[in-house]
Structure 1
Amino acid sequence: MSTGKTAKVLKTIKENETTTTVIMDVEDERFSSFRPGQFATIRIMENGEWSKPHPFTISGAPGDKLQMTIKRNGHFTSELIPALNDASQIQCAGPYGIFCKDIALKEEIVMVAGGVGITPFLSVLRHFKKTGAKNTCTLFWCNKTFADAFAASELEEMAESLKLTVIHVLSRETNPDMYYEEERPQIKFEKGHFSRDMLARHIHSTTASFYLCGPSGMQQTVVEELAAYGIAPDTVEKEAFVYNGA
């Protein structure tokens, strides 16, 4: 027996070799007023049977068509998601979750994302852009290479209209500074893994509101580095990002 509301796939976007964005129209008014940071579950009909529900963060802004950005990891995300089209049978349930619930009320925001853990922050920033928010935001986006940062161009555009600084933390780039452009001073680059030294170079206050989304191992390291910088771990709002690709 299936659950959720019927969804129609409007478009799929291949962000890079491992990541696909799916844009859907869902027969549920709740998806027009979700909060940035929330997630939903989707089921896909395969061989006459509904799949089990898979949770994914909503990456679009409230008021836009439902958008999810999904990394390939297992049969569901590697085979079914990239093959979606307007004839696919799909159902959505949600929205769920409280991550980033009151983020719009915070004056200074620091977001740390690991890989596709960027999705809730994309939702937040897309919402901020639509609403002309004045919050001061710093985003640390940790990836292996700059090619993995599929939303880099959009973030550059956001930084022109928002009080946004983006720091790309790249663990496998030998010279990440090669990507720096003088005309885009709000887009910065760091080599290696997220550290307290990077915080010291880019954050000058311990009173900001900190948000973290990424794989569990990465989260543990980031929390330790934040603590070393003087940020109490229990003040960091965290979202345990699970690559649900079975």
Structure 2
Amino acid sequence: MEPAIVKILKVEPVTHNVRRFTLERPEGLAFVPGQAADISINTPEMKGEKRPFTFTGLAEWDHLEFTIKIYTDHNGVTNHLGKLKTGDQLIIHDVFGAIRYYGEGVFIAGGAGVTPFIAIFRQLKKEAKLGNNTLIFSNNTEKDIILREEFTQMLGKNFINTLTQEETKSFDHRMIDAAYLKEKLPTFSTYFYLCGPDPMVLALQKTLISLGAESSKVIVEQF
């Protein structure tokens, strides 16, 4: 698609460092839940700085939604995004992404890597097809859990949280490794959807295949 300039309609906090951006929807834009778009800020100094962000709204909505973690520790794109407000403009570039729903399975996310799964689960809920899909979500601390209430409402006991840098009574305090997966999952013959930091995704790909998952059923983003 040709680049499209869109206005920000609303900016809302999701967690202490994650924000929801509601944008105008350009005519003709299409995407599949799980896909992303390259986005830049429409200012002279930033419009050439494209970064990928995942659509978290549904394809039929009349607006776009992106749920974005803001990093303020360096002067990057998300730091600039965190300073934007209603009426500011972004540029939507190409739509892409290999992560999409192929069938019931286990979704494993690290931090902001959960964003491709938001639209997928919302679409499955809309279609009453959540079934036995499971989300295993790893975060540093409890306050980092994105859309905790919504995922709990959608998935119930199939929403499994583990924290790596905080111990609480409510959640596991474990790394997602072979032992953890064998403890939590009854089978490895299903689909697996992975998104998170590259080292985590690469390690989990190898781990899942070693546990019996089919490589063709381990879905990761392709760049």
Structure 1 length normalisation: TM-score? 0.80
- Aligned with residue 63 of structure 1, among 60, 65, 80: 60
What does residue 20 of structure 1 align with? 19
One-letter amino acid matched to 2:8: V
Query: How much has 1:70 moved relative to structure 2?
Result: 1.4
- Aligned with residue 198 of structure 2, among 199, 210, 216: 216
Question: What is the rounded CA distance, in whole Å, between the counterparts of 1:51 and 1:94 in structure 2?
Answer: 13
Query: How much has 1:218 moved relative to structure 2?
Result: 0.9
CA offsets, 1:171-199, max 9 Å, x none? 11223xx22xxxxxxxxx32220022222
What does residue 179 of structure 2 align with? 197
Residue 120 of structure 2 corresponds to residue 159 of structure 1 = no
One-letter amino acid matched to 2:119: S
Question: What is the rounded CA distance, in whole Å, between the counterparts of 2:147 and 2:181 in structure 1?
Answer: 22
In the comparison of the two structures, how many residue pairs are matched? Answer: 219
Could you list the runs of 5+ residues in structure 1 that have no partner in the other structure? 180-188, 242-246
What does residue 35 of structure 2 align with? 38
**69-78 vs 124-133, which deviates more?**
69-78
Does structure 2 conserve the Cα–Cα contact (< 8 Å) formed by 1:140 and 1:168?
Answer: yes
4+ residue runs of structure 1 moved beyond 3 angstroms? Answer: 76-79, 232-235
Could you list the runs of 5+ residues in structure 2 that have no partner in the other structure? none
CA 118–49 in structure 1, closer or farther in 2 if over 3 Å, else same: closer
Q: RMSD in angstroms over aligned alpha carbons? A: 2.2
CA 91–208 in structure 1, closer or farther in 2 if over 3 Å, else same: same
Helix, strand or coil: the match of 1:27? coil
**111-120 vs 125-134, which deviates more?**
125-134
What does residue 28 of structure 2 align with? 29
Question: What is the rounded CA distance, in whole Å, between the counterparts of 1:49 and 1:95 in structure 2?
Answer: 19
Query: How much has 1:49 moved relative to structure 2?
Result: 6.2
Helix, strand or coil: the match of 1:200? helix
Structure 2 length normalisation: TM-score? 0.87
Question: What is the rounded CA distance, in whole Å, between the counterparts of 1:86 and 1:114 in structure 2?
Answer: 29
Does structure 1 conserve the Cα–Cα contact (< 8 Å) formed by 2:11 and 2:86?
Answer: no
Q: How does 1:69-218 map to 2 (within 5 A)?
A: 69-73=67-71, 74-100=74-100, 103=101, 105-106=102-103, 108-159=104-155, 165-175=158-168, 178-179=169-170, 189-218=171-200
Query: How much has 1:79 moved relative to structure 2?
Result: 3.2
Does structure 2 conserve the Cα–Cα contact (< 8 Å) formed by 1:212 and 1:238?
Answer: yes
CA offsets, 1:99-153, max 9 Å, x none? 21xx2x51x3111111100001111001111222143201111111111102111
Query: How much has 1:232 moved relative to structure 2?
Result: 3.9
